[in-house]
């Protein structure tokens, strides 16, 4: 897709075109996962990651008094590896297997084909929109979903707020352009004072829309949202916009449609949003603490007990990558969102 000369786009519209344009969008034509892609996600590092998520789902389902039917919804399933391993784990637990309606929300037709091939032996509903979800208690799982949604950015200069735009000139070289906005009018539109005690704003409008819809389902039918993503818990927002190509950082304004664009989730902002929507954050922790609390090290010990040293070393090498504070253990955060009356701390005890 060619972006027109002398055209100005808000940052979120630019990202949406770069990632999700039907013909040329990054997620619409590439499989970004694995060594041959641009990055590797936790489910593709070790099957133990998905096993721990499966155990968490089973325990939470029991906390909900084991509903006879419920929706399990993965938001953005990537190459399908996580839900595949979750379903393999469910094979050992017939009651939840029988009760579970599996749903995948997936925007990319390209990734959907990969998922359908991998999951051909399972009965799964693919959703283009959460409004098609059946009217049941629902458990939502989002692993590196929210960071892939388009974002807006605003900067405060001399007590005035400006929105970040991208301008295309006749030379075809795009550049950032800050445009003056009325922040009070904008805040009235989105329904909360996002600029409070901030000098920089970075957030995803689409994230708020998803959270609004999910909160309605959780409040009326019960359930929860388990959110796993890289991010931070500071009150102050900061500029974390990045582009990744072949496992390395690249220029956001270059390689249009050929590289991933993402950002770090501000979990404090998410907490404020869901609280305003009438839900509560039942827990927020690091990926390291979450996985350790669920018993990933004990599980690694069990499955590696009688294996040759090389295979045992490989299992622990992969687990270390997931929980090491210098790798994914600290960078990735885990958040659990539920109704106010739910008391469930599995994975969030520390």
Integer CA distances (angstroms), 75 to 82, 108, 182, 189, in order: 11, 12, 33, 26
Per-residue confidence (pLDDT) for residue 306, from 0 to 100: 87
For residue 186, which phi and psi values (nearest 5 degrees)?
Answer: -65, -45
Reading the block at residue 85, the tokens are 């391993």
CB 254 within 8 A of CB 244: no
Handedness of CA 120, 16, 223, 70 (dihedral sign): negative
pLDDT confidence band for 121 (50 / 70 / 90)? very high
Whether the pLDDT of residue 249 is over 90: the answer is no
Per-residue confidence (pLDDT) for residue 1, from 0 to 100: 47
pTM for the structure as a whole = 0.93
pLDDT over 90 for what percent of the chain?
Answer: 76
**CA neighbor of 231 nearest in space, from 313, 145, 168:** 145
Average pLDDT over residues 242-255: 80
pLDDT tens digit sequence for 317-350: 999 999 999 889 999 999 999 999 999 999 998 6
pLDDT tens digit sequence for 107-119: 888 899 999 999 9
**CA neighbor of 137 nearest in space, from 339, 292, 346:** 339
Whether the pLDDT of residue 34 is over 90: the answer is no
Handedness of CA 176, 180, 183, 189 (dihedral sign): negative
For all residues of the chain together, what is the average pLDDT? 91
pLDDT tens digit sequence for 70-88: 999 999 999 999 999 999 9
Average pLDDT over residues 238-248: 84
Of 293 and 26, which is predicted with more confidence? Answer: 293
pLDDT tens digit sequence for 206-229: 999 999 999 999 999 999 999 999
Contacts 24+ apart (CB under 8 A), 215-218: 215/274, 215/277, 215/278, 215/279, 215/337, 217/130, 217/133, 217/138, 218/138, 218/279, 218/337, 218/338, 218/339
What is the C-alpha to C-alpha distance for residues 257 and 261, in angstroms, rounded to an integer?
A: 9
pLDDT tens digit sequence for 135-152: 999 999 999 999 999 999
Reading the block at residue 257, the tokens are 């449609």
**Choice among 35-39, 148-152, 195-199, 281-285 with the minimum mean pLDDT:** 35-39
Q: How many CA atoms lie within 13 A of 261 on its CB side?
A: 26
pLDDT tens digit sequence for 59-70: 999 999 999 999
Q: How many CB atoms lie within 10 A of CB 341?
A: 7
Whether the pLDDT of residue 187 is over 80: the answer is yes
Degrees, nearest 5: CA angle 310-316-320: 140
3-state DSSP call for residue 339? coil
Domains of the chain: 33-150+206-338 (3.40.50.12710)
**Choice among 2-16, 276-290, 309-323, 336-350 with the minimum mean pLDDT:** 2-16
What is the C-alpha to C-alpha distance for residues 260 and 31, in angstroms, rounded to an integer?
A: 11
């Amino acid at each position: 897709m060619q972006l027109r000369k002398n055209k100005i786009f808000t940052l979120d519209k630019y990202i949406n075109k770069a990632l999700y344009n039907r013909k040329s969008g990054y997620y619409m034509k590439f499989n970004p996962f694995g060594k041959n892609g641009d990055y590797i996600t936790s489910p593709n590092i070790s099957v133990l990651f998905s096993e721990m998520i499966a155990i968490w789902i089973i325990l939470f389902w029991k906390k909900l008094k084991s509903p006879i039917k419920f929706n399990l919804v993965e938001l953005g399933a990537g190459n399908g590896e996580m839900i595949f391993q979750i379903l393999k784990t469910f094979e050992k637990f017939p009651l939840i297997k029988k009760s579970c309606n599996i749903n995948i929300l997936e925007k990319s037709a390209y990734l959907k084909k990969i998922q359908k091939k991998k999951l051909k032996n399972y009965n799964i509903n693919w959703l283009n929109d959460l409004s098609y979800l059946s009217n049941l208690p629902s458990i939502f799982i989002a692993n590196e979903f929210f960071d892939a949604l388009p974002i807006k950015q605003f900067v405060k200069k001399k007590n005035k707020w400006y929105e970040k735009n991208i301008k295309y000139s006749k030379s075809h070289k795009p550049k950032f352009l800050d445009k003056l906005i009325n922040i009070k009018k904008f805040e009235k539109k989105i329904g909360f004072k996002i600029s409070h005690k901030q000098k920089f704003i970075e957030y995803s409008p689409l994230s708020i829309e998803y959270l609004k819809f999910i909160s309605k389902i959780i409040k009326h039918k019960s359930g929860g949202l388990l959110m796993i993503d890289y991010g931070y818990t500071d009150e102050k927002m900061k500029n974390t916009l990045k582009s990744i190509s072949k496992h390395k950082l690249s220029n956001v304004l270059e390689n249009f449609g050929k590289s991933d664009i993402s950002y770090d989730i501000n979990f404090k902002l998410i907490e404020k949003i869901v609280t305003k929507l009438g839900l509560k954050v039942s827990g927020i922790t690091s990926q390291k603490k979450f996985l350790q609390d669920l018993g990933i090290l004990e599980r690694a010990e069990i499955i590696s007990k009688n294996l040759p040293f090389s295979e045992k070393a490989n299992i622990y090498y992969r687990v270390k990558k997931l929980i090491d504070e210098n790798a994914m253990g600290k960078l990735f955060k885990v958040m659990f969102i539920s109704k106010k009356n739910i008391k469930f701390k599995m994975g969030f005890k520390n």
